[in-house]
Structure 1
Amino acid sequence: MEILNFTIDELERWFLMLFRIGSMLMVMPVFGYNSIPALARIAVAFLVTSVLFPMHPEMQLTLMPGVLEFFAVIIREVFIGLSIGLVTIFIFTGVQFAGYIMGHSMGFSMINTIDPMSEQNMPLLGQILTMLALVIFLMMDGHHFLLMAVDESFVQIPIGTGALSDKAIQGFAMLSADIFNIGIKLAAPVLVTILVSEVALGIVARTVPQMNVWIIGFPLKIMVGLVTLSLALPMIVYVFQKVYRGWQGDVIDFIRALVNT
């Protein structure tokens, strides 16, 4: 096949691949951040589609008998792309949740900043942990895995196939629940030390009623939380790396669950 010498069938396949890839990249980590201009993201989608298209010549697509049928296939491809893209971003949502519960326990619940990547309000600790997780993600070639997952989706789910099976729904629900599991695992050291400090303050308040525990407790929780976070940072990085390796298999399993059987 020569460049710009496409048949109608090949053009249909190329555009349907573009819709799936574009919808995936628009919500995936790294590629889907609002800080990246929309035009650049569209250009990346065109580039990835052009690279992957000749790698899947085995995909044969029956010509659509009408516009409505072709539009229905477009909706299916966009749905598949968004589903896979959302699953890939759950790991970072878990990190943001960890930052939120850490900040809330330390008394930072009212301190929000604008996240430069998503351009949305985010708790201060959530933004710090997300930036750290993103650096680790890139160091572990997470962006390469995302592109591999895009390619794997066409191996497992050829154009025009795929469905939201019971297995896929169950997988999506389990991965959504993992947001809370990831958050609790990452925030556990800070939560435990804050809990211990609050218990200690409660004992002090009972034994020394004259002491104003509220005035002492607020800065104490901040200090204890920040010190614990700095000391536990290597462990948090290790836990994130372990979660990331398991997350890779979960994403591939979800893609396979979308196969229309």
Structure 2
Amino acid sequence: MLLNFVLIATFFLVFIRMVSFIAVCPLFSTVGIPPLTKAGLAFILTVLITPMVQPVDPSFPGGLWGFALVVFSEVGVGLALGLVCTFVFNVIRIAGQLLDFQIGFAMSAVMDPMSGSMNTLVSRFLFFLTLVLFLIVDGHHGLIRALVKSYELVPLTTAGINGEISLLVIRIFADSFALALQIAAPVIAVLVITDLAMGLVGKTAPQMNIFQLGFPLKIAVGVSSLAILLPALTSVFKLLFDTLQRDLLLLMKGLA
């Protein structure tokens, strides 16, 4: 009976961390995926991972309340890992929104039911392109391996939160904005030069309607610049995926 309780408690805690991660990670938390499918994926992964996890001690300090605290701890670990994935994937979305603002597509923002927020054209295009490339390079397998590794680096019932974890999450959040700006910088630079050129034309030829000419011109220049730079973004995507693995490893070491 004791052995059964140990197995059930271990399985339940593994499942809690797994389902918390899947609920937040952008790759698995897409609204288009039915909740039952997400729960089934978490259950299957839990069945495969549980035999490799060190069983928990059935004597939880504090009895039922102690077990509840352990459950909340595992939820926190799963959410923290998923939150780091969200920060890294949102780099592309932020870069796309910066480009949309400069190109003029920000006025065409629509409600994205997948993310539950307002998204623009280039932002959605780059985000879905990132997801496709991530699946092509088997990045989802890497995420699952990292999640399995988390049970080794952060064993069940041993997670802890300290000031270093908070600083790490803040640093990842800040780095995501910096990297997004670096990705969008070449196209933004071209668009700024276009704005300056149109300003000079407006001064030398006041009879021209710069506002009417500026919108289609900036769209053409922005989209053309993005199309030219798109092949070079593959190296940026590789850097992004490497950053994701590094940040997940740092977070797991900090939680241990």
Smaller-chain TM-score range?
over 0.9
- Aligned match of 1:24 in 16, 21, 25? 21
Deviations 1:159-212, CA, capped at 9 Å, x for gaps: 111111222111111111122122112212210110010011111122222222
In structure 1, what is the equivalent of residue 84 of structure 2? 87
TM alignment of 1:1-261, pairs within 5 A: 7-56=4-53, 58-64=54-60, 65-115=62-112, 117-118=114-115, 120-259=117-256
**Counterparts of 1:165 and 1:7, CA distance in 2:** 34
- The 8 Å contact of residues 168 and 257 in structure 1, kept in 2 or not, is answered as yes
Q: Matches of 2:233 and 2:29 in 1, distance apart?
A: 25
Q: Does the residue aligned with 1:51 lie in a helix, a strand or coil?
A: helix
Looking at structure 1, the residues matched to 4 and 158 of structure 2 have their Cα atoms a distance apart, in angstroms, of 21
Give, in angstroms, the shift of residue 49 of structure 1: 0.8
Determine the C-alpha separation between the residues in 2 that align with 1:115 and 1:26: 18
What amino acid sits opposite 2:97 in the alignment?
Y
Residue-by-residue CA offset, 1:192-234 (whole Å, 9 max, x unaligned) = 1100100111111222222221111111111100111111101
In structure 2, what residue type is equivalent to 1:11? I
Count residues with an aligned counterpart: 255
Deviation at 1:118, TM superposition (A): 3.2
Give ranges in structure 1 of 5+ residues lacking alignment: none
TM-score by length of 2: 0.94
Amino acid paired to 1:60? V
Q: Report SS of the residue matched to 1:147.
A: helix
* 1:7 alignment partner, SS class: helix
Give, in whole Å, the separation in 1 of the partners of 2:247 and 2:76: 19
For 2:119 and 2:59, locate their aligned partners in 1 and report how far apart those are by CA, in whole Å. 47
**Per-residue Cα deviation, 1:40-80 (whole angstroms, up to 9, x for no partner):** 10111111111100012x34324225221111111111011
For the Cα contact (< 8 Å) 2:94–2:123, is it kept in 1? yes
Deviations, residues 120-166 of structure 1 (Å, cap 9, x unaligned): 43211111001110111111211011111111111011111111122
Q: Aligned partners of 2:123, 2:79: CA distance in 1, in Å? A: 24
* CA deviation profile, 1:236-257 (whole Å, cap 9, x unmatched): 2221212222321121111111
Contact 1:27-1:86 within 8 A present in 2 as well: yes
Q: SS at the partner of 2:197?
A: helix
Contact persistence 1:27–1:33 (CA under 8 A): no
- C-alpha contact 2:9 2:58 (8 A) present in aligned 1: no
Contact 2:56 2:157 in 1 (8 A): no
Contact 1:35/1:118 (8 A) holds in 2: no
